[in-house]
Amino acid sequence: MFSFGSAFLAAAVGLVLWTGAGYGLARALGIRRALALPLAPVLGWTVQNALALEISRWAGSPLVGTLGALALISGGWLLSNRRVVEPPDDTPTMPFWVFLAAAIVALLPAMAVVPKETQAGIALAPAIFDHSKIALIDAMVRDGMPPVNPFYGPPGERAGVAYYYLWHFGAAQLAGLTGARGWEADAAASWFTAFSTLTLMAGLALRFARSPLAPALAIALCVTGSLRPVLEAAIGEDRLAGVLRPATGFAGWLFQSSWSPHHVAAAGALVIATLLAVRLAANPRVLTALVLGLVVAGAYQSSIWVGGLVLALAMLALLPLLLRSVPEGGLPLFLLAALGAAALALLLAAPLLVEQYHAGVMRGGGSPVAISPFPVLAENAAGRFGRLLDLPAYWLVLLVVEFPLIYPVGAVALWRLASRRHARTLSGREARALGMLTLVSLASSWLLVSTVGDNNDLGWRAVLPGLMVLTVAAAAGLARLLAQRGRVVAGLALAGFAASLIGGVVIAAGNARGEVSPDAAWFARAPAMWAAVRRHAPAEARVANNPALFATMTPWPVNISWALLADRRSCFAGNELAIAFAPLSQQRRGEISDRFLRVFAGEGSAEDLRALAETYGCDVVLLTARDGAWARDPFAGSPLYRLVETEPEAWRVYVTTRNTSYPAPSTTPQGSQ
């Protein structure tokens, strides 16, 4: 089902591949050795993936893209024979144990992806719901590039992927290099994203505090969570619900790294882009402009919200600061370099932009972004003031509750860092630029809302870059205070950390333990079931199964066994996945979903069955004993499909009669031989 050895090998390959590429680039850009290594994983991941994705689009193979990107990065490093000379500073080298601590803490979000064997069967963590995009990783490895939509794509319709899939392409590279399956590669990539963003925050904390305590504090702060568990214990769950709205995806690093590592990766890339923009203004260079363009493109291709909207707003807000940083007489060169970086980013992002435009047209529904305050207070608490109170409550209540130590301490420390007397130095300008990024990030979550799906992904994810910077600032500020003020500050910091740690422990425990559902025992048999499907489904075939199968394994019903184990395309993977991946209007998506659910509930008509075979191109059908159609099987007597394999009281595999090359029916599954 899942090989920990394959996942470990894939993670190790990613660590060497992306950290090595990033370190070479960082040194070529003139970044000091003390900072180059902590920044290297995020920098290398973003640049190498952006390059490899573009190369693989032309070559058709992620592996060719990997090798081509490494060749280009190596060539750029060799050709860059001039480095930026910085004034000497006293930034110490980050101790090795900090990297080791980051590697260990990074296991906490990665645990959300792996299955847990229990006496009742297989348990999955709730966050696996958002990792159902593993099907996209398998599709890239199986079918090459550009990816063919594995979630939906009837004959005669566009089969491209409009989702921001660079992170999943990175996982596909790991799978191609190591032979890991998509599920294992996703776990490895999740670990690397967590590790890389931890080292990024730790390195910046060390740069601003000049204290080896700062990176340790940065990593410690990342395992904290919301104050909600403490508040519920103190005043009661019902009373808290009468004041605050329920928790959402608006949460800290640990939660977001567990659920949506691609958005976290984009946030790390945006922090790197901010630092590179400051360096480009101070000393315009071709290599800096090229790397900045690649980082911007990679951020957008990983998250349209973080790397697209927030990045664009942040760069506009940073422009006055950057212009003031340009040396006398260097403005024309800076503008030329900045335009070149923007043009490169736009060129690389163009294919995804085109796909997203077409998907938006097909979906309809108007603008994907609207202006609306983030809902904070419960309806009864707001009273006659309505949503107006949500405006100040976001800053005074929500941010304090969700980031209890990071937000208040980080905001004060960041203000002090940005207003120091040496603000004209490179590190001072970086602090001010990161402060502006933080303001834009928090304000975007405050006022902007995404309208594409059922959830406000924009509001939840836009906070990530600011959260990372505040974590850096809080760690640096606490390190300085602990060195100067002693026991009182240490006691207060420890109390705040303990209160916020409880929320982090809840998340980590959920990732490690998972949730045992009524389908746990059946899910343990799912690998053999999907192996039977693959025996009769060529690589290009599309498979139909009940989208609600194993619905209790995840917080919301999603076709999770298909996504994790099938390694074949679906003709319709279900409503939850179609929201993001199918260019369908809400009405049309609902009609298709209802049809598939009817068929597998045993209530479908002959017209529904013909639609599966002809309209949606379902070449292979998997029917299980968990489906309502098992007892009143519509496929058994249909001229459109024929039975090719069955496991008594478990599953049946049918193939379309349009293909007569299948073997005779079998009752012995391969897994039992």
**Residue ranges in the chain modelled with pLDDT below 70:** 75-90, 365, 384, 420-426, 485-486, 659-673
The reported pLDDT for the residue numbered 671 is 34
Which of 162, 194, 329 has the alpha carbon at shortest distance from 261?
194
Contacts of 205 (CB under 8 A, 6+ apart): 214, 215, 217, 218, 471, 472, 475, 476, 479
Contacts of 652 (CB under 8 A, 6+ apart): 622, 623, 624, 633, 635, 643, 645, 646
Rounded to whole angstroms, how far apart are CA atoms 477 and 222? 15
CB contact at 8 A, 110 and 102: no
Rounded to whole angstroms, how far apart are CA atoms 66 and 52? 5
Of the CA atoms within 13 Å of residue 252, those in its CB half-sphere come to: 34
H or E element at residue 11: helix 4-28
The reported pLDDT for the residue numbered 668 is 39
3-class SS shares of the chain: helix, strand, coil, % to 5: 65, 5, 30
Taking the alpha carbons at both ends of the chain, their separation in whole angstroms is 17
602: left (phi over 0), alpha (psi -120 to 50) or beta: left
DSSP of 34-82: HHHHHHHHHHHHHHHHHHHHHHHHHHS-HHHHHHHHHHHHHHHHHH---
Which of 565, 555, 556 has the alpha carbon at shortest distance from 524?
565
**Percent of the residues in the chain that have a pLDDT greater than 70, as a whole number:** 93
The reported pLDDT for the residue numbered 78 is 61
CB contact at 8 A, 458 and 449: yes
Q: DSSP assignment, residue 244?
A: B
Q: Find tokens 């909600």 and name the residue.
A: 228
Q: Where are the alpha helices (DSSP H) in 419-555?
A: 426-447, 457-461, 464-485, 487-513, 520-523, 526-536
- Strand ranges for 284-411 from DSSP E: 369-371
Q: Is 24 helix (H, G, I), strand (E, B) or coil?
A: helix
Structure tokens given for 69: 């990107």
H or E element at residue 409: helix 406-418
CB contact at 8 A, 507 and 255: yes
Contacts of 123 (CB under 8 A, 6+ apart): 115, 116, 117, 513, 514, 515, 516, 517, 520
What is the b/e burial string over 350-368, where b = at least 16 CB atoms within 10 angstroms of the residue's CB?
eebbebbeebbeebeeeeb
In degrees rounded to 5, what are phi and psi of residue 94?
-70, 130
The reported pLDDT for the residue numbered 419 is 80
pLDDT tens track for 548-579: 999 999 999 999 999 999 999 999 999 999 99
The reported pLDDT for the residue numbered 424 is 60
Strand partners, 653: 622, 645
Rounded to whole angstroms, how far apart are CA atoms 10 and 14? 6
Contacts of 368 (CB under 8 A, 6+ apart): 360, 450, 451, 452
Contacts of 253 (CB under 8 A, 6+ apart): 197, 222, 264, 464, 467, 468, 471
Structure tokens given for 57: 């689009």
Of the CA atoms within 13 Å of residue 325, those in its CB half-sphere come to: 27
- CA distances from residue 169 to 128, 513, 517 in whole angstroms, order as listed: 18, 28, 31
Which of 407, 413, 508 has the alpha carbon at shortest distance from 211?
413
pLDDT tens track for 199-221: 999 999 999 998 889 999 999 99
CB contact at 8 A, 567 and 530: yes
Q: DSSP assignment, residue 327?
A: P
Rounded to whole angstroms, how far apart are CA atoms 458 and 622? 36
The reported pLDDT for the residue numbered 88 is 57
Structure tokens given for 301: 């291709």
In degrees rounded to 5, what are phi and psi of residue 606?
-60, -35
Q: Is 149 helix (H, G, I), strand (E, B) or coil?
A: coil
Amino acid symbol at 503: G
Rounded to whole angstroms, how far apart are CA atoms 146 and 390? 43
What is the b/e burial string over 554-567, where b = at least 16 CB atoms within 10 angstroms of the residue's CB?
beebbbbbbbbbbb
Rounded to whole angstroms, how far apart are CA atoms 403 and 202? 18
Structure tokens given for 55: 């190369």
Parallel, antiparallel, or unpaired for β 651-656 and 641-647? antiparallel
The reported pLDDT for the residue numbered 451 is 86
Q: What is the pTM of this model?
A: 0.94
